[in-house]
């Protein structure tokens, strides 16, 4: 989502919550400690904080048993755009040696909390900066870079380097794990390339830009009116004309699939999804954070395979 979005109350509430930490949040919103919390060697593990469990899982894959990860957004029903700080996560940030954030306005609460924690020594890895991407002329950057596999491959190397600086004795292990993770990403890139070969140029629709990097890697064309996806991304109402134009994509069968972010559904996206199903057009659900019990590679594999299946290959 965009930094200016009305759906980013986190940037407005974090400052207040840090003053009244005892009253903000509740145990179900506290993020999760994953990785080495049950490991006898946990006391020597590198403490890492990530903004979401997507990055938490990647860090665990690279760090193995030598990291202790706290993912602030860790539940499938938590909205990354409405996070409120709490004492547990603030404490984790004061101790973190490595912090992994998305950047690009997606999780500004990390920078605000880190500043309040007075932890200037933590190595901050910003995925958008690692991606090297910039906004096209006259447009805004699609900040959902964890759906861009080449970016995630570069991020793996950057995380390995940051962990190696925090724990030089584990540097070789972190590099080896990052290499293995990138090999799995390469296999996924091959799957996306096959979609491009089989279906390049075919039109699809989206509810908002979350999966656009995957769609672009598959060589597909986004046929959604920009006014529709922009409004949904900003949490605004879609104009009647724009909604009518979007629904026509399905009633007139002008797209091959709808890729729908099911974590930000509402009356207008529900109408679009229903129109697709009524027209017999496949719906591919995606999410912004890891579903419970899944890891990054399995999750992305399922997303890519679901897209390929919806397109008929």
Closest CA to 277 of 218, 229, 219, 205: 205
Residue 113 token pair: 């909390």
What is the structure's pLDDT at 139? 82
Is the pLDDT at 111 greater than 50? The verdict is yes
- Report in angstroms the alpha-carbon separations of 206 from 91, 233, 260, 276: 38, 11, 6, 11
Q: What superfamily does domain 200-310 belong to in CATH?
A: Nitrogenase molybdenum iron protein domain (3.40.50.1980)
Is the pLDDT at 8 greater than 70? The verdict is no
Other beta carbons within 10 angstroms of residue 41's beta carbon come to 10
**To 10 degrees, what angle do helices 149-166 and 171-199 make?**
180
Fold annotation for 10-188: Rossmann fold (3.40.50)
Is the pLDDT at 265 greater than 60? The verdict is yes
Most confident stretch, 29-33, 83-87, 124-128, 292-296:
124-128
Question: CB-based burial of residue 109 (10 Å sphere; 0-12 exposed, 13-18 middle, 19+ buried)?
Answer: buried
Closest CA to 62 of 190, 154, 148, 187: 154
Is the pLDDT at 164 greater than 90? The verdict is yes
**What's the whole-model pTM score?**
0.85
What does the mean pLDDT of the chain come to? 86
What is the structure's pLDDT at 4? 35
Average pLDDT over residues 140-167: 97
- 274 φ, ψ to 5°? -65, -40
Alpha-carbon span 189 to 81, nearest angstrom? 29
Residue 35 pLDDT grade (very low, low, confident, very high; cuts 50, 70, 90): very low
Judge if 10-188 and 200-310 fold alike in CATH terms.
yes
- What letter does residue 20 receive in the DSSP assignment? T
Average pLDDT over residues 184-203: 98
What is the structure's pLDDT at 82? 67
Residue 115 pLDDT grade (very low, low, confident, very high; cuts 50, 70, 90): confident
Instruction: Domain ranges for the chain, please list them.
Output: 10-188, 200-310
- Report in angstroms the alpha-carbon separations of 91 from 86, 94, 179, 279: 9, 5, 32, 51
CB 256 within 8 A of CB 204: yes
Which H/E stretch holds residue 221? strand 221-222
What is the structure's pLDDT at 31? 53
Query: Three-state SS for 34?
Result: strand
CB 61 within 8 A of CB 109: no
Instruction: Calculate the CA 233 to chain-centre distance.
Output: 14
What is the structure's pLDDT at 80? 63
């Amino acid at each position: 989502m965009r930094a200016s979005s009305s759906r980013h109350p986190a940037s407005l509430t974090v400052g207040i919550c840090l003053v009244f930490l005892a009253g903000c949040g509740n145990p179900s919103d506290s993020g999760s400690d994953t990785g080495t919390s049950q490991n006898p060697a946990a006391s020597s593990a590198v403490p890492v904080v990530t903004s979401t469990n997507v990055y938490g899982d990647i860090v665990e894959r690279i760090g193995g048993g030598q990291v202790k990860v706290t993912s602030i957004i860790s539940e499938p029903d938590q909205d990354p755009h409405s996070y409120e700080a709490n004492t547990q996560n603030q404490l984790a940030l004061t101790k973190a040696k490595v912090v992994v954030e998305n950047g690009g306005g997606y999780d500004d609460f990390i920078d605000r909390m880190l500043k309040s924690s007075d932890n200037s020594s933590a190595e901050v890895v910003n995925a958008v900066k690692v991606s090297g991407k910039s906004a096209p002329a006259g447009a805004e950057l699609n900040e959902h870079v964890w759906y861009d596999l080449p970016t995630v491959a570069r991020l793996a190397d950057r995380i390995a380097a940051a962990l190696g600086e925090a724990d030089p004795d584990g540097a070789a292990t972190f590099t080896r794990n990052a290499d293995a993770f990138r090999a799995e990403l390469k296999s996924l890139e091959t799957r996306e390339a096959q979609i491009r070969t089989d279906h390049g140029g075919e039109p699809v629709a989206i509810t908002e830009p979350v999966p656009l990097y995957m769609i672009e890697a598959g060589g597909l064309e986004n046929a959604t009116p920009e006014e529709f996806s922009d409004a949904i991304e900003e949490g605004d109402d879609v104009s009647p004309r724009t909604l009518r134009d979007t629904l026509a994509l399905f009633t007139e069968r002008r797209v091959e699939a709808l890729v729908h972010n099911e974590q930000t559904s509402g009356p207008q996206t529900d109408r679009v999804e229903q129109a697709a199903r009524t027209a017999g057009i496949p719906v591919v659900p995606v999410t912004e954070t890891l579903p419970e019990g899944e890891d990054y590679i399995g999750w992305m594999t399922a997303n890519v395979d679901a897209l390929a299946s919806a397109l008929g290959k």
